[in-house]
Amino acid sequence: MIKLSSATSAVKLFSRIVIYMAKRSAKTEKISIGVIGGSGLYEMDGLTQVRTVKVATPFGKPSDDYIIGTLNNKRVAFLPRHGRGHRLIPTDINYRANIYGMKKLGVERIISVSAVGSMKEEIKPGDIVIPDQFYDHTKHRRSTFFGNGVVAHVGMAEPVCADLCRVLIEAGVQVGAAIHRRGTYLCMEGPQFSTKAESLTYRKWNVDVIGMTNATEAKLAREAEICYSTIALATDYDCWHHSEEAVTVEAVLAVMKHNIETSKSMIREAVRMLTGSRDCGCGEALRNTIMTPEKLIPAKTKKDLAPITGKYMKKK
């Protein structure tokens, strides 16, 4: 009897230690790279040691559980922007929860992947653009963590991280993608595509690609002091193009499939190249931008924003 009870205690103790170690390693593991996948990219193959994590945020639920896995020896957090199964229209995506969740996980760099329409003849379906500018033409969404008694104005003149863009461009060259090294991404509200009148107007604005999600993410990532850069996958010419009416669904799907494969190879390559700490200014983007004196910021707001603004507050 005595022997049996000590054996039972030993098993209990052992399982407690295993649970404790698992919790501890989950807490201490370094996840510095995040990937947000768009249309067609709902999962990342090649991930090992995979676990899924639900992240609670003061802004509600992210689009889905985060998938944490190892890619090229680094822990990466992957999130499907529209939720698995593509359930959320661009307006309904909880962008704030998505970016806040990445911040809570410790992510410092976000690689975003998005299907876009091409607004220029020379950007052909199947080509990849690494945008360096956004034009935010959205109308019905929250694109800031601020409000609720605290005001901050971050700079968005250069809306993406130049260092991360360089890595993505290099990764694209390595995998043989047809890469455009810069471009302006017009972010429309959607979910409908443009009318011809709109499309022709955007052409006059000299934008390069059109999508529905990335300007919002870029703004929030900047506020959260996370480096952000986009792999924009040209799927078709927007409706301005004379060839557009002749395009078949099969042709668009074939281009999308090709694009997704290319973007996955690029992500793998980029993750391999991303080493060391950041030299860009993204990690200090909020410095001297919070206008509200600390004593006037409501306690709840301060608590909610602690992962983002905490380092600039005297009283934690």
Contacting positions for Zn ion (CB under 5 A): 161, 227, 280, 282
Respond yes or no: is residue 92 known to be catalytic. Answer: no
Q: Please report how close the Cβ of residue 31 comes to Zn ion at its closest, in angstroms.
A: 17
Q: Virtual CA dihedral for 126, 208, 218, 296, nearest 10 degrees?
A: -170
Give the nearer residue to Zn ion in terms of CB position, either 177 or 282.
282
Could you tell me if 191 and 89 are in contact, meaning their C-beta atoms sit under 8 angstroms apart?
Answer: yes
Give the nearer residue to Zn ion in terms of CB position, either 110 or 260.
110
Q: Please report how close the Cβ of residue 109 comes to Zn ion at its closest, in angstroms.
A: 7
Catalytically annotated residue among 136, 208, 238, 304: 238
Tokens describing residue 150: 């605290």
Q: Please report how close the Cβ of residue 184 comes to Zn ion at its closest, in angstroms.
A: 19
Q: Please report how close the Cβ of residue 161 comes to Zn ion at its closest, in angstroms.
A: 3
Catalytically annotated residue among 208, 236, 279, 304: 236
Distance between CA atoms of residues 148 and 191, nearest Å: 29
Respond yes or no: is residue 64 known to be catalytic. Answer: no
Start-to-end C-alpha separation, the chain: 53
Distance between CA atoms of residues 47 and 60, nearest Å: 27
Give the nearer residue to Zn ion in terms of CB position, either 161 or 232.
161
Give the nearer residue to Zn ion in terms of CB position, either 154 or 282.
282
Eight-state DSSP code of residue 214: H
Give the nearer residue to Zn ion in terms of CB position, either 200 or 280.
280
Q: Please report how close the Cβ of residue 45 comes to Zn ion at its closest, in angstroms.
A: 27
By three-state DSSP, how is residue 211 classified?
strand
Long-range own/partner contacts, residues 275-283 (CB < 8 A, 24 or more apart): 278/108, 278/109, 278/163, 278/227, 279/163, 280/161, 280/162, 280/163, 280/164, 280/227, 282/161, 282/222, 282/225, 282/226, 282/227, 282/228, 283/108, 283/225, 283/227
Catalytic residue set: 236, 238
